[in-house]
Amino acid sequence: MNAAESTVTVRFAPSPSGRLHVGNVRIAILNWLLSRKAGGRFILRFDDTDTERSREEYVRMAEEDLGWLGLAWDEKVRQSARLDRYRAAIDKLKVAERLYPCYETPEELALKRKMLLSRGKPPIYDRAALQLDATAHRKFETEGRAPHWRFRLEDGEIRWMDGVRGDVHFEAENVSDPVLIRADGTPLFILPSVVDDIDFKVTDVLRGEDHVTNTAVQIQIFEALEAKPPRFAHLPLLTDLHGKGLSKREDSLAVSELRDEGLEPMALNSLLALIGSSDPVAPFASLEALLPNFDLRKFARATPKFDPDELASVNAKLLHELPFSEVVERLRAIGLDHVDEGFWLAVRENLARLSDALGWWRVCHAEIAPVVEDADFARKAAALLPEGEWGADTWQAWTDEVKKATGRKGKALYHPLRLALTGCERGPELQNLLPMIGRKRAVARLQGQTA
């Protein structure tokens, strides 16, 4: 085995027929981690042979989503550019008599399935097309019926050691011969996927458990094309809190929407990399920080549920730890031109989104409408505001004087001051905000003036 063949190579293969949702991206993240943990390669492949449903806008959006998450790919592949390779594989399978033409209409196939199910039998294709002679073929062709082509499975056990599910096996006679080529001559994804995995030397296929039966079929296709199958691992599909599966056609939790809502990419990466594993969900500052503990063996077969509130919590925790150097340019991009580290350290633990910093910037440096519950108390407090330069100890010194003058303490003292100074019920420590608000604004707000 040469170095190229031994390099761990994975692929993320979306079909560009809709926006990526968190279920799709979870598979992408785990594939990226699997490859990078081994120093391998991550291939982005667009399964775009279905010309009716594939859209260039979804290709672009998928690339934007992956770029936002930091999931850099080593190579990009478009299946629509590889039709000659698929035709060559089709010819090889026909010569080996593993592909056979079928002429049933969709309605006829649906009726067969219905009849089998009504008798309590699995809806397995009966291979009626294998009994057709040359005369029957000519008759269908004369009628204008174009055949679709099925792959003839060989009887016997299909078995593999799955990276998540463990020992998996199928009896081939319990699986329908799959359609590999549509009546219009275009291949379904099952065959191109195998050809691509062979050509790009994919060593590990990590995908959702809805592909388990496809894997059984594809193992025989690999063998029919005289190639060694890769290692397979199938993860349980992510659902919402009600157990409903996520569908890109319904735009369920689209990644682009989460990005537009101002979520941190590493919040989504952290949650999706850990959910369903034995490791606790926690915020990580980078994808590289996730690598040391990544191990497929930590993932169970139980269905993981995506909780938007958990994502929000991870997002907030991540923001609370971000150093000023990592956010300064982003803060300036949302309009905080003169922001400094002191402001960031004062407000970051009260942010759910980075954009929330803009509200606290206005509290410190712009006009707000104060909330004055007791005008007499507020006026007395304003009169006690110290002159001169303010610092971190100003708040304590001032409130000590207000306490002595008014007899108030605890919530009765601090809550009305916070409302008047910030207009908010809660927020960052006022010992940090007060020096940034400044004496002039503080006096005006305590007097009930917009300032």
Report whether pLDDT(173) > 50.
yes
Task: Report the pLDDT value the prediction gives residue 250, as an integer from 0 to 100.
Answer: 52
Fold of 375-446: Arc Repressor Mutant, subunit A (1.10.10)
For residue 273 the two structure tokens come to 């990399």
Tens digits of residue pLDDT in 283-336: 999 999 999 999 999 999 999 999 999 999 999 999 999 999 999 999 999 999
Report whether pLDDT(137) > 50.
yes
Dihedral sign from CA coordinates of 371, 377, 380, 386: negative
Residue 439 CA, chain-centre distance (Å), reads 47
Mean pLDDT of 185-199: 95
Contact 238, 275 (CB under 8 A): yes
User: Cα–Cα distance between 72 and 432 in angstroms, integer?
Assistant: 40
Residues 6+ apart with CB under 8 A from 164: 233, 234, 235, 236, 296, 299, 301
Mean pLDDT of 48-70: 94
Contact 318, 264 (CB under 8 A): yes
User: Cα–Cα distance between 41 and 202 in angstroms, integer?
Assistant: 9
Report whether pLDDT(93) > 80.
yes
Report whether pLDDT(132) > 60.
yes
Q: How confident is the model at residue 3 (pLDDT cuts 50, 70, 90)?
A: very low
Mean pLDDT of 361-367: 95
Q: Which CATH number is 1-78+187-321 given?
A: 3.40.50.620
Number of H helices, E strands in the chain: 19, 10
Same topology, domains 1-78+187-321 and 375-446? Answer is: no
Q: Residues, the chain, total?
A: 451
**CATH superfamily name and code, 85-181:** Glutamyl-tRNA Synthetase; Domain 3 (3.90.800.10)
The domain limits of the chain are 1-78+187-321, 85-181, 324-362, 375-446
Exposed, middle or buried: residue 306 (CB in 10 Å: 0-12, 13-18, 19+)? buried
